[in-house]
Amino acid sequence: GAGVSQSPRYKVTKRGQDVALRCDPISGHVSLYWYRQALGQGPEFLTYFNYEAQQDKSGLPNDRFSAERPEGSISTLTIQRTEQRDSAMYRCASSLDPNNYGYTFGSGTRLTVV
Amino acid sequence: GQSLEQPSEVTAVEGAIVQINCTYQTSGFYGLSWYQQHDGGAPTFLSYNALDGLEETGRFSSFLSRSDSYGYLLLQELQMKDSASYFCAGGSSGSARQLTFGSGTQLTVLP
């Protein structure tokens, strides 16, 4: 597509529920990144993929967080047993290749855990 | 790991020039990127410096000095629409190729 598409745009969930956040990167972009951004702060790295391979998941806060990109295109970030502290803006970005630091970010998913 | 420091706020008037500094401490530093983010919007890429020196793109320029672990973003002929947050971000060499972002500088342009 023309840009990075994320869905849903907003998600309100009850504590303890699982949520799945979707990212559709720019067509042909090899690298896909997940970040989390708190209000007034810079994006915080979570994980990234080259094609379908997860290259680094060191930023995932704990084992409730997981991500996949099975066909090297669309990616899903899953949070199990959500907690209030998981509330944040989750942003996906893609780049043409791993050496390209000009990321294109999506509009994000605002997650609220109540 | 990496850490990047930048001022939290900068204020300037329309038509002026403003410089936003960024210092970094990092292992395996690869280059410095700059992103702009308007309230409620997504970060958008402005520039990337892999080598020392100045890169110019229209009204915006970015500078990197590896020996000083320092870079800056220079905005000229400021316009009201330039009011936004600006983030520097460090890229890593080796296997960890993701960007690490600073906390951002809120630029306010006054009429």
The tens digit of pLDDT for each residue in A21-73 reads 999 999 999 999 999 999 999 999 999 999 999 999 999 999 999 999 999 99
Q: Which residue of A has its CA nearest to B91?
A: A101
pLDDT over threshold 70, residue A1: no
Q: What confidence score (pLDDT) does residue B98 get?
A: 79
CB contact under 8 A, A56 and B95: yes
pLDDT over threshold 90, residue B97: no
| Among the listed residues B25, B19, B30, the one whose alpha carbon sits nearest the alpha carbon of residue B5 | B25
Q: Which residue of B has its CA nearest to A94?
A: B98
Q: Report residue B58's pLDDT band, with 50, 70 and 90 as the boundaries.
A: very high
Q: What confidence score (pLDDT) does residue A98 get?
A: 83
Counting residues of chain A whose pLDDT is more than 90, the rounded percentage is: 92
Q: Report residue A105's pLDDT band, with 50, 70 and 90 as the boundaries.
A: very high
Q: What confidence score (pLDDT) does residue A64 get?
A: 98
Q: How far is A18 from chain B (nearest CA, A)?
A: 25
Neighbours of A28 (CB within 10 A): 9
Q: What confidence score (pLDDT) does residue B12 get?
A: 97
**Longest distance between any two alpha carbons in chain A, whole Å:** 39
A106 interaction partners in chain B (CB closer than 8 Å): 42
Average pLDDT, chain B: 92
Chain B residues touching chain A at CB-CB below 8 Å: 30-31, 33, 35, 41-45, 48, 87, 89, 91, 95-104
In whole angstroms, give the CA distance from residue A49 to residue B23: 28
pLDDT over threshold 80, residue B2: no
Q: What confidence score (pLDDT) does residue B94 get?
A: 62
pLDDT over threshold 80, residue B28: no
In a mutagenesis test of the A interface, which of B46, B57, B97 is the best target, namely the one with the most A β-carbons within 10 Å?
A: B97
| Among the listed residues A82, A77, A94, A75, the one whose alpha carbon sits nearest the alpha carbon of residue A16 | A82
In whole angstroms, give the CA distance from residue B97 to residue B111: 40
B44 interaction partners in chain A (CB closer than 8 Å): 105
Q: What confidence score (pLDDT) does residue B56 get?
A: 93
Q: Average pLDDT in the B43-50 region?
A: 94
pLDDT over threshold 80, residue B92: no
CB contact under 8 A, A42 and B104: yes
Q: Which residue of B has its CA nearest to A95?
A: B98
Alpha-carbon torsion angle A85, A86, A87, A92, nearest 10:
150
Q: What confidence score (pLDDT) does residue A60 get?
A: 97
Q: What confidence score (pLDDT) does residue B1 get?
A: 65
CB contact under 8 A, B44 and A40: no
